[in-house]
Structure 1
């Protein structure tokens, strides 16, 4: 199951089409409003008020035609595999690209249906396969709405050294 719904993907692809059209016509690329915020669903990121820094976060404005490559303000490790450290970003947010499939592949242990336990339970005791003992560590903030363009987010993040909401 994808983190992004069809409507979000359509908006991201439309933004990418606008950018590619401007590039092909030799015009300045549009400064687009971001569409979605993806964040680490563990650690401090889940408890931060909106104006504070957001560790392990991506504010995304575009999706390439390949359906996997995202463009936006990225400050998260995007390494696949269980137990990936996602509670903090790199502290160097920048405009760039990230792979949706890599973000979706990041997993964390699950115990009794709850995310964030330190150790997974014995798999045999619960009758579950190894792969079923992990859940996605990344989430989409469904209540988030952009408060500016992607460049405004980048400027605010450069100053704060973390992804923050622009003033």
Structure 2
């Protein structure tokens, strides 16, 4: 199985998680985009805590994207309708803070990245 996060992404997510604990106004850019190739779900993750709980923009493909928390262990075990695992978008590069992605997603009813 492909790792959901590279070591560099994990380190950046952890650093963002520490910063957000110290600074409640911290608004980082997403570090990684994950998606189900066969189910329409997408996650833009911006932070990670030591318990492997990530924070970011979550879109389950039902028209209601929202900021929230998700367990990496649960994502690793998740499969789409054809049994395919979650994949990492190798070409995703964030160009704005997570709050801007969330605002656009709420208006569009889905993550626009």
Instruction: Name the TM-score, length of structure 1 as normaliser.
Output: 0.62
Correspondences of 1:44-59 after superposition (within 5 Å) = 55-59=40-44
- Residue 64 of structure 1 corresponds to 49
- Where has structure 1 moved over 4 Å in runs of 4 or more? none
Find the aligned partners of 1:107 and 1:158 in 2 and give their Cα distance.
Answer: 25
1:36 to 28, 32, 48: 32
Question: 2:36–2:79: 8 Å Cα contact kept in structure 1?
Answer: no
DSSP-derived class of the 2:29 partner: coil
DSSP-derived class of the 2:68 partner: strand
**Structure 1 segments unaligned to the other structure (5+ residues):** 23-27, 44-54, 77-88, 110-115, 117-133
Q: CA deviation at 1:108?
A: 5.5
- Residue 75 of structure 1 corresponds to 59
Pairwise CA RMSD:
1.7
Find the aligned partners of 2:45 and 2:25 in 1 and give their Cα distance.
Answer: 16
Instruction: Name the TM-score, length of structure 2 as normaliser.
Output: 0.90
Correspondences of 1:152-163 after superposition (within 5 Å) = 152-163=100-111
**Structure 2 segments unaligned to the other structure (5+ residues):** none
Question: 2:29–2:98: 8 Å Cα contact kept in structure 1?
Answer: yes
Larger Rg: 1
Q: CA deviation at 1:106?
A: 1.4
For each residue in 1:40-78, what CA deviation from the matched residue of structure 2 results, as whole angstroms up to 9, or x when unmatched? 0226xxxxxxxxxxx300000000111x211000012xx
* Matching of residue 102 in structure 1 with residue 74 in structure 2: yes
